A and B are shown apart, each in its own frame.
Chain A
Amino acid sequence: MGLYSSILIKPDMPDGRYLSERALLYVPFFAMIVFASAIILLLPYDTVYVRDQAYLQMFLVTVVVCTAVFLLGTLHNVLLWMRGKGLVSTPEKRLLCFAGRALRLLFSRMLARALGVFVRDALYLSRLKGRSWSRWFMHIMILGGFVLMFVLDLVVTLSLDVLQYQPMIEESGWAKLWLRDVGFEVAGLMMLIGLSIAAIRRFILKPSIVRTELPDAASIIFLLAVVAGGFVLEGIGIAGTIPGHQENVEYSFLGYAVSVMLPASSGEFYDAAWLVHGIMSALLIAYIPFSKMFHMIASPIAIELDGIMAGKEALS
């Protein structure tokens, strides 16, 4: 019995075609995973704050594994969508067709509309704002913080490990102070505010529209632990005067506030705390496709589809 033994795949389809159709998707997909892993493992990481190389290696391996799990989990979920109505060949082939159509959108007159829809409805959450300012604020803090952190991560990694951009490396460089310190603090603070409101709503206020089951609680607690852990790590770094945390520490304002409560000796645990925070962040990424957080990927697609359909109707 083959992998696709369900009624969805017509049994008279030659096996060879399954293979070729699947190869078209899986070969580039696994190549992408290998490529991403190679980049993650091969970057120099000269400027990371962790001092113990073994910790760094452990973290990098976890990131590689978690990234692969995230991508595979996402692919698995998306392939399940593809098994829906009207399937005539393999879900893999269908996914490639959809991806092709999505790419074509980039060069069509719908692009401006798609971008507008993305900014207005997926990022700014305009519909939620119209319904409840407080719920919108909560969500925009979490989403905004997440997006900002993602963008900063990309910018900082690129500047440090690829471009070796000095203002990002030097203790008093503008980019170090405003992007690496203030930028991450703001992103983390936004998430912390949003998640705290969400936790209070969910666990204390319990309004009737909120329903808490294990996946809801797990996602919030996991996220809160990662975000709060980041500030604790920062505090340990400052209290223990770890390199990179010695000058202009007040730019990392929340981490600085935490450091005031910590003894200088806490610096001994900096590397361990760094590893725990890093691994938790990586696990969080791996957990996304298997949790309610997968809406981060599916929801913008739903919003885009809705916007594009409405646009097509308007045009016709």
Chain B
Amino acid sequence: MIRRLDISSLDVRALMSYDACTRCGECTETCPTGGEAQDVEMVTPRGKILRLRELYKAQYGLRARILGPKKISDAELKEFAARAYECTICGQCRTVCPSHLDTIEMWENMREFLVANSLGPLSAHEPIVKSIENYDNPWMQPRTQRSRWSKRLGEEARIGDSLKDDHEILYFVGCTAAYDPNIRPMAENTARVLTHAKVDFGTLGNEEGCCGSTMMRTGLSESAKAMVLRNIERFERASPSIIVTSCAGCYKTIRQDYPKYGKLPAPIVHVTEFALDLMNSGHISPIGRVDKTVSFHDPCHLGRHAGLYEQPRSILQSIPGVKLVEMHRNREDARCCGAGGGVKTAFPELATGISELRVADAESVGCEVLTTSCPFCYQSLKSAVSARGSNMEMVDLMEFLWNSVHAPR
């Protein structure tokens, strides 16, 4: 019997978009995984679109209606699935597509379709998925260790428990900053900056759950939904005025994806927006000089996905001595770091190749300190800096700000 693809998980808009692709190829050159790192058509946005269209039309198109659905071999399907996951969901293709296809939504939906047809996620993603399902974080760490990072700060930061007491601001830490020892400073410096600005804030402590981004990006929308609803329920219990997060992935997910499942009880802002507000209202002032040439790498989840480009730059520019230089590809056109969309997990070499290209971008403009505001970008760019033996320093934006804010006058 012919295995018929289940297209009921493909969005109406996505199905329409597959027909709207003009095959112009504008998206192919700048695609970090398809055009730049390897010249494989099926990995490019156009390639993925045409291939999937070809597959489902073979079973649901006019010819299939008249002559019956065509058999598609398992090998063909598996090859397509693997290629579809070779995408960081960076959104570069969305910004260049003359047909204005919302490719970010299309790729995520394509993965939902692969999951619905038992073709995804890839086996390389399974440990992470299992970890999230069992421990509520991708790092296979016990839930009880989630808030350990905050204990280490001692008197340096006043971090409340938003589920026990009333706090105006809820700081959503995110799994990576909470558990990964190399990224922990991101959470610590955020807490220091907030404390310094006398912000009344708390966290969800050990009850904070994974935001669900990994599940959504790998196509596991049903599991993601359960996680989203659990987190929304916690937000409701905490009832803050504003939710702040320092993770670009959590920010994008909570801001753009949560409303598809439920109502957020408070608006969410990224810490760069919040810190800039604190600076503008005089609650913090960067005073320590940093006489360095600094560049900012736009995380895809913050930039192309959410349109936050100027806030991090304004923060950097307000730090005395900083000479901000832009890489040739910046803001909407910024090259992806290569880590997103599950690519680093399933295709680590591909991810490394892309992040090295980004580091080369920064080197080519004489950057001494490369900053960013996303744990994944930070991690992959930092490894690429060492892999290239570069003299450049990789610094998280909150650390950079904190160093200037608390420097002696």
Residues of A within 8 A of B (CB): 6-8, 73, 76-77, 80-87, 94, 98, 121, 125, 127-128, 131, 135, 139, 208-211, 216, 290, 292, 294-295, 297-299, 301-303, 305-307, 309
For A6, the closest partner residue in chain B by CB is B4
User: Is B41 in contact with A211, judged by CB distance below 8 angstroms?
Assistant: yes
Bound CA–CA A148/B17 (angstroms) = 26
Q: Which of B18-26, B187-195, B200-208, B352-360 contacts A (4 or more CB under 8 A)?
A: B18-26
Q: Inside 8 A of A7's CB, which chain B residues have their CB?
A: 6, 8
User: Is A83 in contact with B26, judged by CB distance below 8 angstroms?
Assistant: no
User: Is B15 in contact with A209, judged by CB distance below 8 angstroms?
Assistant: no
CB of B194, distance to nearest CB on chain A (Å): 28
Q: Inside 8 A of A216's CB, which chain B residues have their CB?
A: 23
Bound CA–CA A77/B117 (angstroms) = 22
User: Is A302 in contact with B46, judged by CB distance below 8 angstroms?
Assistant: no
User: Is B15 in contact with A84, judged by CB distance below 8 angstroms?
Assistant: yes
Most chain B CB neighbours (cut-off 10 Å) among A86, A290, A292, A299: A299
Q: Inside 8 A of A290's CB, which chain B residues have their CB?
A: 62
Q: Inside 8 A of A297's CB, which chain B residues have their CB?
A: 19
Bound CA–CA A306/B99 (angstroms) = 9
User: Is A295 in contact with B11, judged by CB distance below 8 angstroms?
Assistant: no
8 Å CB contact of B20 from A83, A86, A299: A299
Residues of B within 8 A of A (CB): 4, 6-17, 19-26, 28-29, 41, 46, 60-62, 65, 96-102, 109
User: Is B12 in contact with A302, judged by CB distance below 8 angstroms?
Assistant: no
Q: Inside 8 A of B101's CB, which chain A residues have their CB?
A: 302, 306
8 Å CB contact of B62 from A76, A81, A305: A76
With A7-B6, A292-B22, A299-B20: A83-B99 Cβ-Cβ less than 8 Å: no
User: Is B12 in contact with A209, judged by CB distance below 8 angstroms?
Assistant: no
Bound CA–CA A128/B24 (angstroms) = 10
User: Is A131 in contact with B26, judged by CB distance below 8 angstroms?
Assistant: yes
Bound CA–CA A292/B97 (angstroms) = 16
For A210, the closest partner residue in chain B by CB is B25
CB of B2, distance to nearest CB on chain A (Å): 12
Total number of residue pairs linking A and B with CB closer than 8 Å: 102
User: Is B8 in contact with A80, judged by CB distance below 8 angstroms?
Assistant: no
User: Is B99 in contact with A85, judged by CB distance below 8 angstroms?
Assistant: no
With A84-B12, A211-B41, A305-B13: A127-B100 Cβ-Cβ less than 8 Å: yes
User: Is A81 in contact with B23, judged by CB distance below 8 angstroms?
Assistant: no
Q: Inside 8 A of B25's CB, which chain A residues have their CB?
A: 209-211
Bound CA–CA A305/B105 (angstroms) = 13
8 Å CB contact of A83 from B4, B8, B96, B97: B8
8 Å CB contact of A209 from B8, B13, B21, B28: B28
Bound CA–CA A82/B7 (angstroms) = 11
User: Is B12 in contact with A306, judged by CB distance below 8 angstroms?
Assistant: no
Bound CA–CA A298/B29 (angstroms) = 24
> What 16 new A-B contacts, CB under 8 Å, besides A83-B60, A84-B14, A135-B24?
A73-B62, A82-B12, A84-B10, A84-B12, A86-B12, A125-B98, A127-B96, A128-B26, A210-B25, A211-B25, A216-B23, A295-B99, A302-B17, A303-B99, A305-B13, A306-B100
User: Is B100 in contact with A307, judged by CB distance below 8 angstroms?
Assistant: yes
Bound CA–CA A7/B21 (angstroms) = 27
Q: Inside 8 A of B28's CB, which chain A residues have their CB?
A: 208-209
User: Is A80 in contact with B15, judged by CB distance below 8 angstroms?
Assistant: yes
User: Is B8 in contact with A87, judged by CB distance below 8 angstroms?
Assistant: yes
Q: Inside 8 A of A125's CB, which chain B residues have their CB?
A: 98
Name 25 interchain pairs, CB-CB below 8 A, sorted by A: A73-B62, A76-B62, A81-B15, A82-B12, A83-B7, A83-B15, A84-B7, A85-B11, A85-B12, A85-B109, A86-B12, A127-B100, A128-B98, A131-B26, A131-B98, A135-B26, A209-B24, A209-B26, A209-B29, A211-B41, A295-B19, A295-B21, A299-B20, A303-B99, A303-B100
CB of A217, distance to nearest CB on chain B (Å): 12
With A211-B23, A211-B46, A299-B20: A84-B8 Cβ-Cβ less than 8 Å: yes
With A84-B15, A85-B12: A299-B22 Cβ-Cβ less than 8 Å: yes
CB of A88, distance to nearest CB on chain B (Å): 11
8 smallest CB-CB distances across A and B, nearest first, come from A209-B25, A298-B20, A306-B100, A84-B12, A302-B20, A298-B19, A128-B98, A81-B15
Bound CA–CA A292/B101 (angstroms) = 16
